[in-house]
Amino acid sequence: MDRVIEELTSWLKSLLVDGVMSVLQGMFDSVNNQVGEVTTQVATTPAAFQANVFNLIKELSEGVIMPIAGMVLTFIACYELIQLIIAHNNLANFETWIFFKWIFKTFIAVMLISNCFDISMAVFDVAQHVVNSSGALIQGSTAVDDSALAGMRATIEAMDLAAIFGLFFQVLFVNLATQILAAFIFVVVYGRMVEIYLMISLAPIPFATFGNREQSQIGQNYLRGLIALGFQGFLIMVCMGIYAALIQSVAFTDDIVGSMWGVLGYTVLLCFSLLKTSSLSKSIFSAR
């Protein structure tokens, strides 16, 4: 009877060890794949991210928003002309150069609104160059190598059956939490790109305000917002580099439970850091 119980215990222990290692390896692979996917998506330009969506946004911007921006530009041009006339005592001190000044400013405004989509994309091209350059310097992997996995397996096999039971349920919980956090990271990264598409779809309207000094604050704040969105990708890359360095510092074979919860803690920290990149970037570039 003791022999049967011993064999049953050994079989159950082996089954639990295999289950724990399977869940752990899947969790580590999932985290590593998520980090790699985030790095790839951040390094992608808006035009290459989703070509169909980008073309739709461009058509909407040029076909729907551009006429509205034209009306805004017309209003601002008239307002600017009135301001120039009033500024010279209602033409009592008439100077012809003010009309040339108005024509020049209106010409510049028309050129800006006509090329607003290209200018917006140029902002992201510059920011993307910075992101790609940082990617070559910020290198790191969250993958766990085979030797670490073998050491973890040996450590688990040395535990008694009750400890392995407890570890198994902890691993399941941490794996579930990691999957939820991975989904949150996905939302943050893809939400940034959706925000970019929404911003550039309305580009003609803020660009139409550059013809007047008072109203140009709208366009200037819009440009600062574009720059902040672009360089948010750089901050995301920095977060990923820090996260990879923290994961590599975890000793997986010495304290499996502590290491496992440490990975979860670092992943929570990564989510919090990614969430802060938007407000941090906007504060740096004074974008509202």
Of 177, 176, 175, 156, the C-alpha closest to 167 is 156
Q: Which residues in the chain come in under a pLDDT of 50?
A: none
Residue type, 174: V
Contacts of 198 (CB under 8 A, 6+ apart): none
Read off the pLDDT of residues 18-64 as tens digits, 9 standing for 90 and up: 777 777 777 767 766 777 777 777 878 888 888 898 999 989 988 89
How much is the pLDDT for 189? Answer: 84
How confident is the model at residue 98, as a pLDDT? 74
How many other CB atoms are there within 10 angstroms of residue 276's CB atom? 12
Please give the DSSP secondary-structure letter assigned to residue 49. H
> pTM (2 decimals)?
0.81
CA–CA distance, 249 with 286 (Å, rounded to integer)? 36
- Provide the CB-side half-sphere exposure for 214 (13 A, CA): 6
For residue 13, give Cα distances in angstroms to 3, 6, 151, 161: 15, 10, 17, 6
Give the pair of three-digit tokens for residue 32. 């590593």
Which pLDDT does position 197 carry in this prediction? 92
Domain ranges for the chain, please list them: 16-65+115-284
| pLDDT score at 91 | 57
